[in-house]
Amino acid sequence: MKFRYIILHIILFISVTSELAFAQVQRYSYEKGMMGSPFVLTFYAKNDTLAKQAADSTFKRIQQLNDSLSDYRDGSEINKLSATSGTGKWVAVSKDLFNILAVAQDFSQKTDGSFDVTLGPVVQVWRRAVRKGYLPDKNEIKEAMEKTGYRKLLLDPETRRVMLTQKGMRLDIGGLGKGFAADEAIKVMESFGITSALIDAGGKLAITNPPPAAKGWKIKVSSGRDSLGTIELANAGVATSGPTYRYLEFEGKKYSHIVDPKTGIGLQYHVRTTVISPNATDADVLATAFSVTGIRNGRKYLKKYYSASRVWLVETRNGKETSWNTIGQKKP
Ligand code: ADP
Ligand code: MG
């Protein structure tokens, strides 16, 4: 029996336009490992001092978000909140934590729970299984599943308080954290007067105005095998999700780190989802959510609630690959 937890190549390549910058701004790029992924800030600024200050402040903000939202960190705000589950108490939380949970809950409601930040207990079971090299058994999953369900997470916007109604619940914002961080990074950039930026938060992109003299930031969306070619984007978010990055392989079957909230099992048919939305948070949530809904239900939700977003989803069922592409460019 072989277990592999594999991190494969990132499938989003960013090529930055080489058009000559206007004389008054220069292009800068800073990279740092954050939230378990490389974060790259690419932007145009007037001078080195401003660029450095903006980059430092942005990384500081992402670090602060990670300190509060990471479920990998003992003592993070989110883990402390999870520890209050089942006590019947309303707990006051930071704006960041409240806002991200509010976004998550909105998407959960609209996608019939396909996206679910209360999956923590099940995600933990799968993480442990990957680490120790076994496939979780049915009872283990069932037990963990009993502690999940987005309806057990209550939010009170008036007082910015949260209640987790059942003991043993655990929140996990892994499905939207990087997109959220990318959007927050853009806000910091803007506070420094930087209006042309591309933040790559581990494959989740937040993009503002185009580089000088360009129509947009040139993004190549590709699986390495299949490509949508180069797309020029401005004021948008892009996210890709899929076991192309990370999965558990057990007896020839691949299980995604994206879990179906109805079964508690890692997706088996999903290949890859790329979403382009008005911002990175939405793109990140939808890339995860549409991976779960699959093509058929995905179409329904896209039409009803997310018509501002575009999707490229590939899935394989019974050895047959099906692709859903609303990004509007023909595959070569
Ligand atoms: P990436 O790891 O590339 O950021 P995603 O954005 O798709 O990928 O997020 C996957 C992560 O989200 C998982 O590692 C897990 O923490 C969490 N997760 C898994 N399944 C779901 C789901 N159905 N809804 C919300 N979050 C999920
Ligand atoms: Mg996601």
Q: Considering its fold, how many domains does the chain have in total? A: 1
Phi and psi dihedrals of 218, rounded to 5?
A: -85, 115
pLDDT at residue number 21: 45
pLDDT at residue number 23: 54
Ligand 1 centroid to 115 CA: how many Å?
9
pLDDT at residue number 253: 82
Q: Is residue 31 part of a domain?
A: no
Q: Enumerate residue ranges in the chain where pLDDT < 70.
A: 1-23, 223-225, 243-246, 329-332
Atom from ligand 1 closest to the CA of residue 245: 3
Instruction: Please list the alpha-helical segments (H only) found in the chain.
Output: 48-69, 77-82, 95-110, 120-132, 138-145, 177-191, 280-305
CATH of the domain at 247: 3.10.520.10
pLDDT in tens, 294-303: 999 999 999 9
pLDDT at residue number 221: 82
CB 288 within 8 A of CB 241: yes
Ligand having the closest approach to the CA of 104: 1
Q: Is residue 261 part of a domain?
A: yes
Q: Give bridge partners of residue 14 from the DSSP assignment.
A: 219
Ligand having the closest approach to the CA of 201: 1
Q: Is residue 95 part of a domain?
A: no
Decide: 258 in ligand 1 pocket, CB within 6 A.
yes
**Of 26, 18, 42, 7, residue with least CA distance to 182:** 42
pLDDT at residue number 6: 36
Decide: 170 in ligand 1 pocket, CB within 6 A.
no
Q: Which amino acid is at 177?
A: G
Atom 5 in ligand 1: residue holding the nearest Cα:
175
As a whole number of angstroms, the distance between CA 19 and CA 32 comes to 26
Atom from ligand 1 closest to the CA of residue 288: 7
Ligand 1 centroid to 325 CA: how many Å?
21
Decide: 245 in ligand 1 pocket, CB within 6 A.
yes
pLDDT at residue number 316: 87
pLDDT at residue number 4: 38
Atom 10 in ligand 1: residue holding the nearest Cα:
175
Q: Which amino acid is at 139?
A: N
pTM above 0.85, yes or no: yes
pLDDT at residue number 242: 77
Ligand 1 centroid to 174 CA: how many Å?
5
Decide: 108 in ligand 1 pocket, CB within 6 A.
no
Atom 6 in ligand 1: residue holding the nearest Cα:
175
Ligand 2 centroid to 177 CA: how many Å?
8
pLDDT at residue number 130: 82
pLDDT at residue number 243: 60
Task: For residue 283, give its domain range.
Answer: 215-332
pLDDT in tens, 5-60: 333 333 444 554 444 444 589 999 999 999 999 999 999 999 999 999 999 999 99
Atom 16 in ligand 1: residue holding the nearest Cα:
174
Q: Is residue 223 part of a domain?
A: yes
Q: Is residue 205 part of a domain?
A: no
Q: Is residue 74 part of a domain?
A: no
Q: CA angle at residue 224 from 219 to 227, to 5 degrees? A: 55
Atom from ligand 1 closest to the CA of residue 240: 3
Q: Is residue 79 part of a domain?
A: no
Ligand having the closest approach to the CA of 126: 1
**Of 78, 72, 76, 73, residue with least CA distance to 162:** 78
Decide: 183 in ligand 1 pocket, CB within 6 A.
no
Ligand 1 centroid to 214 CA: how many Å?
34
- Residue with the two structure tokens 């220069």: 26
**Of 198, 189, 240, residue with least CA distance to 40:** 198
Decide: 261 in ligand 1 pocket, CB within 6 A.
yes
Decide: 116 in ligand 1 pocket, CB within 6 A.
yes
Q: Is residue 325 part of a domain?
A: yes
Inter-CA distances, 179 with 19, 55, 202, 275, 280, Å: 27, 18, 9, 12, 5
